[in-house]
Structure formats: C-alpha cells, structure tokens
Structure 1
Amino acid sequence: MMGLSMRGMSLALAGGMAMMMAACTSAPVQTYPDVTWRHLQPIAFSAGPIEKVAAYGVPAANDLQPDLPFDLGRMAMNWPDDRLQTVGTNDILRYSVTDAEITTANLKTKSGLSGMFTDDQSQKVDLKVGAKLELMSEDGTPKGEVAAVVERSRTLSESMSVAEREKAIYDETAALLMDLDRELDKQIHKNLARYVLK
C-alpha cells in the first residue's frame, strides 16, 4: 500500500513538472527574411570602394525594434550591397543610414459594454528610414551627394495576436525599404547621373 502511494506521488510529481515545463515553453519565434534588392538592376558608378556608416543612433524609448525579430536599420545598411556596383576610379562612395525608427503609440479604445463588441484599432506604428549617399575623391573632397527619408504608418487592431502584429509590422517595413530604394534611385539618376555608367 505504501509502495503504491509512493509510486502515485512520483507520477503526480512527474506530471506536475511536465505541466510546468510545458507552461514555461514559449511558442517558436517567427523568423523573417532580410529585405533584399537583388532582383533589381544594380546601379554602376564610376567610383571605387563603398564605405557603409550606421549613423542612426540609439533607438527612442518607444522604439519597437528591440522587441522585433527583424531590424530595420540593419536591413537598410544592406542596400548598397545589392544595388551599387563600382567600376573604374578611386573615388569613394559613402553610404550612411541616417534614420531607422519603428515607434509606437497606444490609441484610445472604447471601454465598457460597447468596447466588448468592438474591434478597435489599439496601436499606431510609425516607421521611418533615411539614407545618404556621398561621392568624394580619394582625398575626401566632396563631389556630390543624395539623401532620402521615407515614412509609413499603420494601425493595429486590438484583436491581433502578437504574431499577426509582427507580420503586419514586417510587411510595412519591407514596403518602407522599397520606398527608400525608389527614392534613392530617383535622386541618384537626377543628381549624380554623370557618375553613373550607362
């Protein structure tokens, strides 16, 4: 009788531990691919090496990026790897990411009985990215530059899961980076066209 009691206690303890471990195990973290521009035709410059500078500083207190499984600033830093080629001279291209923010603010939602039956937009997400491309001679003399800053915003409903919110923010981030590419491309062909190889 004592043996059964001890065995029962052991099984109960093992079951309890298994339940605790299951409760502590979080769902798998969703991974998102880096945004790339490899599908686009590279812009060929009559220049030499490309320098990259992360000049966007420390995230603001309400910046979401530390809690997201992707990073706007890091992906923006990859832009010249996919979009720029250099041929022919010792002139230097310096690419700087000057802004990279994904900030959030809570929105007012309905309370009480009406709030229970309403799926309100509970959060506003603002995204901003900026970059600058400078062309200079080997000794550092400026020869030209272009800059672009693009922004997007979207709201998230209170019924969205954490995974749904992350996916929505990632999709907006990808669209924002494509906006940046289009603006930089336009500025380059407008203001640095004489250094671009046709």
Structure 2
Amino acid sequence: MRHVITALTLMTTVFLIGCVKAPPVPTYPEITFQHLNPIMLNVSEIKVVNEFRPTLKAPNVEHELPVKIDQSVRNWVRDRLRATGNSGAVATVTIKDASAVEERLEKQGGLKGVVTKSQSELYKFHVLVEVKVSEISGASGFVTAEATRSKSVPEGITLNQREQTYYTQVEALMRGFDVEMEKNIRSFLGSYIR
C-alpha cells in the first residue's frame, strides 16, 4: 500500500510540475530614431560597411543581446541620414565596433558575503562609427562618434532580467551615440549638410 501511495504522490507531483507554465519570453522592439529629424546630406548615396566581427565567445556577449548594437546603427543610418544630392559624392558609414563584454566580479567573502547579494557581473557596451563623405574630385571629410555604457547586475537574476538589462543599456548607448554623431556631423561635415 505504501508503494501505491508513493507512486501516486510521485505521479501527482510530475503532473503538477508539467502544468506550471514558464514565464513568457519577452520581445523587444527595434531601437529606432524615426522620431528625430533626418540630417540631409548633399550626397548621392549612403553606404553602410560593418567592420565589426563578433567573436561569439566569452567574454563577449553581443550575440546574446535581444537587440544588436550593429543593427541599431543601421537603423540610425536609415532614420537619421538622407542622401539629397546629385553631385556623385558618397557617404560611407563604417561600424568599427559594436561590442558587449561581460566581466565577472569577485564575490564578497566572509560572513558578509553569505548574507549579502553581491554584484556578480559587469557588462560593458561600446559603439564606434565613422561617417566619411568622398567626392568625385577626391576631396573628403570624416567624423567619428563613440559611446560606452556599463552596468553591473546582482547574482541570481533571471534570464529575462538579464535581457532587459541588455536592452535598456543598448538603448541608452544608442541615444548617447546619436547625440555625439549629430554634433560631430554638424561641426565637421557642415559643408555637406543641406
């Protein structure tokens, strides 16, 4: 009889575990810049070149981001830059870096480490982009813009919480990049703005 009760308890437990639903996997919108006025460039064409190659291994984590930094740069180009000239000049936007790196943090030792929830990882996000305008005559001008963000997370966070951290940091990174790049274009490529 005891074996029957144990078997029934085990079957009930397995059934109940099977009924527990996993939390929904969140989806994240693209990071866009459609709400901002485009920068009108006196060029015939705008090209995007991606020189950044993710390593797909630790400590890099850009392949785990729910919204990629290099794709967000492409969205920035699509939303912020407009080719409005017919002079034959070309603007080339080169993505030099679009990385995210995880750094493990040391856990606090002793009794305090046992009772305290420590920060376990530090995430560093970086973007570096060059915009170069080349004319048929051979004249050219270029600017770069760079932005960085970093955020530590506590031990024991869920995958969904980690992805939310990734997303908010990439969003902040791209806002900083947008401000820096627009300032640099207006300061150093002003002769190409219409």
Superposition TM-score tier, normalisation by shorter sequence:
0.7 to 0.9
C-alpha RMSD of matched pairs (Å): 2.6
Distance 1:101 1:15, change over 3 A: same
Count of paired positions: 187
Q: 2:47 — aligned with what?
A: 51
Q: Residues 37-116 of structure 1 correspond to what in structure 2 (within 5 A)?
A: 37-59=33-55, 61-89=58-86, 90-111=88-109, 113-116=111-114
- Any conservation in 2 of the 1:54–1:77 contact (CA below 8 Å)? no
- Any conservation in 2 of the 1:35–1:75 contact (CA below 8 Å)? yes
Measured against aligned partners, the alpha-carbon deviations of 1:94-122 in whole angstroms (never above 9, x if no partner) come to: 11111011101110112454323212111
Query: Residue type matched to 2:98 in 1?
Result: A
TM-score, L = length of structure 1: 0.82
- Aligned counterparts of 1:115 and 1:96: Cα–Cα separation in 2: 45
Distance 1:16 1:161, change over 3 A: closer
More displaced stretch, 109-118 vs 73-82:
109-118
Q: Secondary structure at the match of 1:98?
A: strand
- Any conservation in 2 of the 1:134–1:142 contact (CA below 8 Å)? no
Q: Secondary structure at the match of 1:187?
A: helix
- Aligned counterparts of 2:17 and 2:92: Cα–Cα separation in 1: 53
Query: Residue type matched to 1:34 in 2?
Result: E
Q: Secondary structure at the match of 1:134?
A: strand
Q: 2:4 — aligned with what?
A: none
- Aligned counterparts of 1:47 and 1:173: Cα–Cα separation in 2: 29
- Aligned counterparts of 1:185 and 1:155: Cα–Cα separation in 2: 29
More displaced stretch, 188-197 vs 115-124:
115-124
- Any conservation in 1 of the 2:54–2:63 contact (CA below 8 Å)? no
- Aligned counterparts of 1:138 and 1:150: Cα–Cα separation in 2: 31
What's the offset of the Cα at 1:166? Answer: 1.5
Identity of aligned residues (%): 26
Q: 2:131 — aligned with what?
A: 133
What's the offset of the Cα at 1:16? Answer: 8.7
